[in-house]
Amino acid sequence: MATLIPTALRRLDYADALTMQLRLRDDCIACDGARNYLMLVEHPPVITVGRAGERADVLASADRLGQLGVQVAEANRGGEVTYHGPGQLVAYPIISLRQRGRDLHRYLRDLEAWLIALCGSYGVPARVNPPNTGVWVQERKIVSIGIAVRRWVAYHGAALNVATDLSHFELIVPCGLRGVRMTSLERELGAAPLLADAAERAATLFAEHFDMELRPAAQGAAQRV
């Protein structure tokens, strides 16, 4: 059974998180998937533009973004434009797909199933919304997903709105979906779950859904980056 090493939840700038992802990705490649990681972070306000994204989907002016303290960063992941910020759980699974059929579509569906289960653990009935990638509550989007792969190790990942300031999604066209309504666990439940609790549930459910042995971060390379 492959090992999953989660990192402790922390606030991390997007650029620093990417550097950490690349280190863990390279370690996962080097050990041929014996060690897999789940980075769990909360970002300061940042808009990321994926490989399929267009700057035109950033609707706010540079001055407005500056006033709000929102940065813009290019992201080497699939997908278009999204927003990360306080109150959002960003999960970056860094796992080998060699033992999972080297199937990116299957991996995306597995990520969606995991995140649907995570929402369900709070009593929020989430679902997929084909052909769109991500997780939805009725017609409202609660999870955005975008991945990258190198030598069959996946990185980047998913963002779950826990208690996110949803007004910041009005600064962009989220995932290229004009008029989409965003939601959060807080909005659906009427109260905000603790981000640390969501992170703990995310790690436990990920290990279950991906059939991995969950190990504390202190026992793995994640603690050294």
- Cα–Cα distance measured from residue 124 to residue 184, given in angstroms and rounded to the nearest whole number: 10
Residue range 54-76, pLDDT digits in tens: 899 999 999 999 999 999 999 99
The torsion defined by the Cα of 199, 203, 206 and 211, in degrees rounded to 10, comes to: -170
Q: What is the pLDDT of residue 24?
A: 97
- Catalytic residue positions, numbered: 175
What's the chain's average pLDDT?
94
All domains in the chain, ordered by first residue: 3-220 (3.30.930.10)
Q: What is the pLDDT of residue 54?
A: 87
Residue range 119-174, pLDDT digits in tens: 999 999 999 999 999 999 999 999 999 999 999 999 999 999 999 999 999 999 99
Average pLDDT over residues 13-40: 96
Residue range 191-225, pLDDT digits in tens: 999 999 999 999 999 999 999 999 986 444 444 44
